[in-house]
Structure 1
């Protein structure tokens, strides 16, 4: 009997409280009408039920007070766009400071982590280890608006690089050699995958895919290249065309990647090293010309040579001892406001494996970056080099034992010193070590590895791998 009496008194209290609120609201409306001197106009109190500002703080988590929260009034979500660092623990209740619209009568809170529902007094600390729901009630005690607030925390190790197979089964049949060249601009930028089938009588084949795709490939015809003579790994895009060199020193050119013609009035080319890519405006201003870099044979003497965009050839200095002619990895990149071309590892004119890195900014002369007394990496060929995460990234190739390695080397000083990467940036266990992969980094910071082979005599692996450092995707 006593319990029923208590419940009755409680219910009577809330009814009286609601009537008082309604009475006050009605009085406000009548007073407003009287002050204006007319009963003909109708006035409605604001029905704004919003949370206007939101922040969290905790002395044990000092960085929490600097977190900026976004309030989406349409969906009722409150969240931080920039996630807090990996490993942040919200294992304590935190102070939640909110600003409510002036017409909000009450705020109810449902804490998912605790599993309770409370009529929040805007002061008690709350548990944000899981989402918290806020339900605002308007002065009419009927209109409500709900918000779901959560603190975003990175759930993966930011500096870890995650790899996976992106595409398999691109080419038809077994392939002995492969090179992927990126060509075009904007929406027309495409991968051009050149292959030499294991059956050389089939001739060179070409597959193309948009850089924005990489999974759907179209097979195209190739015409004009001499069968079995092209150094496929040295095909280079320069300016508005592709260039390829043969084992006999001839240079071929194509504007569409499919139809090739012999370029006349060229020196005998022993190796096509790559392009020194310079912005056209930079070239026009006379600050640095672009060039297609090569090693040429002048009456039995090996020199550096370079071709400008007008397709004029010039001679450079004598070839340095130990400079690679085959099997090198190359990269065109910018450093200190200058375009540079880097070549790494490979075989020299005596067919010896090297473990050096060389650089040029004009194609006339090359500088050895690495120190002979402190070998930066093992002697090898078929390395893949890219600029990634403000460093130079090198995936090892095939060494003196004839087998490939999956070691990853990083250089933070433009190729002078190289160090094996730590456990966060390495190839996964199910990745088959390989050399002679083509490599590309897209605008979303994904790194792609195309093909590659486990030994010099094995066929090309018919697959594409893709990886990215987690924080570069945040």
Structure 2
């Protein structure tokens, strides 16, 4: 049975006083300090939810190292809290501290409203903030702290979505879509009843309408070929390689080359002409690139690229190009050394027995880089499927997280996903005309206090 705190504290103070007077040959003084100096969480348990290969969810208990979530002591406002919230599902009803350093006698508030002495052996419930009081050993004063153990409200590995635009009739009728976020603006191209258009809206707005413009300055713009290069949009049209500042008004570039396809866009633009690969940094001077295999294996449709750092060398980057050839996924890469530039060849990565997890054919396939990985999205039957690769497009696996796409996506005829500079994902759906804005909770978690 817990004794009244006043009685316990007075008894402790009396014992401390007697101890200080017990030896006439020693000079000992009781302290007026009353503060918590250091506090460290012990290990905690967490129920972790994941998904099996068959899509069913499962859960199991894992250990969360409490020391990995430091507790910040705000002496001015007398608050103690973890700046980085614990993962969702962490149990905080049985919390203990491996370190609890304080000047004075420590007590904590019970649910009844009364205080009792604290022992480092105590295991406490922190589902709500708790009050700890430190009494100066000389009885001159006390200081109370509110300790708040915070937990993420949302699963950090789940995705959150909101409708960013109401259903739009023009978007609903688009085909051959391509979407790019640039300088706070979202650009969506596509063909509506045989006419190419571009739809725009700001990424920083909440629910907002699209603004539609017709394409001008060129004929036969291949909307699927549009890439962002040197701050401008580039694409292939009937006249050859064209560029645009605003996505609507296009002009011919200075090059005399007429590309078959755009392979990739990084610091250089990579195109193919009559089975050969060329690169340029200014769209004027072109250099023929080497390839370690026949360029007959280059993809011809739904071609996308991304730049990924090498796993073990930050000075090495890989330009990854993925697309379809006769309904089959083809992957090519070019290694770039940022410190010692080399004239490396484009390398072909064929499907072999060692790489069985290939990307299936998806209608309206598109690829993006997000959270350091590659994601490919498209439609299989009437369902949106998303695949991910963590090894630079060598192996793919289907994303089992149900929130990877909004629950209200419905049955679109074509989709496109693209990221912006603020770690958002934009998902547009032809057929339904909806635009969704989402993010991975872990990347958008507010760690400020």
Give 1:6's aligned residue. none
- Give the alignment partner of residue 364 of structure 2, picking from 349, 358, 382: 382
Corresponding position: 1:307 with 2:273: no
Residue equivalent to 2:211: 219
Where do 1:15-54 residues align within 5 Å?
Answer: 49-54=34-39
What does residue 463 of structure 1 align with?
435
Indicate yes or no: 2:293 matched with 1:293.
no
Please report how far the alpha carbon of residue 371 of structure 1 lies from its aligned counterpart in structure 2 after TM superposition. Answer: 0.9
Matched, 1:118 2:115: yes
Deviation at 1:235, TM superposition (A): 1.1
Contact 2:70 2:82 in 1 (8 A): yes
Counterparts of 1:201-212 in structure 2, within 5 Å, are 204-210=197-203, 212=204
Q: Distance in 2 between matches of 1:345 and 1:224?
A: 28
Deviation at residue 140 of structure 1 after TM alignment: 9.8
Kindly provide the CA deviation profile for residues 74-101 of structure 1, in whole angstroms up to 9, marking residues without a partner as x.
3322122234455443454636754444
Task: Give the corresponding residue for 1:450.
Answer: 427
Mapped partners of 2:329, 2:387: distance in 1: 12
Residue 230 of structure 1 is matched in structure 2 by 221
Quick one: structure 1 residues 324 and 423, their matched pair in 2 at CA, closer, same or farther if it must change by over 3 Å?
same
The equivalent of 1:409 in structure 2 is 387
Q: Distance in 2 between matches of 1:267 and 1:95?
A: 69
Partner of 2:133: 135
Aligned to 1:357, the other structure's residue is in SS state strand
Unaligned segments of structure 2, at least 5 residues: 18-29, 46-62, 337-342
- 8 Å CA contact retained: 1:291, 1:308: yes
Does the 8 Å contact 2:364/2:416 carry over to 1?
no
Q: Does structure 2 conserve the Cα–Cα contact (< 8 Å) formed by 1:180 and 1:191?
A: no
Distance 2:307 2:65 in 1: 40
Task: Give the conservation status (yes or no) of the 8 Å contact 1:304–1:364.
Answer: no
Q: Secondary structure at 2:388's aligned position in 1?
A: strand
Q: For 2:75, which of 52, 73, 76 is the aligned residue? A: 73
Bigger radius of gyration, 1 or 2? 1
Cα deviation, residue 316, structure 1: 4.3
User: RMSD of the TM alignment (CA)?
Assistant: 4.2
Give TM-score, length-normalised by structure 2.
0.70
Task: Quote how far apart the aligned CAs of 1:428 are.
Answer: 5.3
Partner Cα distance (1:259, 1:66) in 2 = 53
Contact 1:108 1:117 in 2 (8 A): no
Residue 356 in structure 1 maps to residue 354 in structure 2 = no
More strand by share: 2
* Cα drift, residue 149 of structure 1: 1.0
> Distance between the aligned counterparts of 1:123 and 1:450, measured in 2?
51
The superposition leaves residues 378-428 of structure 1 with CA deviations (integer Å, 9 ceiling, x where unpaired) of 234532222334332222x246xxx45433322232112222234477445
In structure 1, stretches of 5+ residues that fail to align are 1-9, 25-44, 184-188, 278-289, 454-458
**Contact map agreement 1:315 1:364 (CA 8 A) in 2:** no
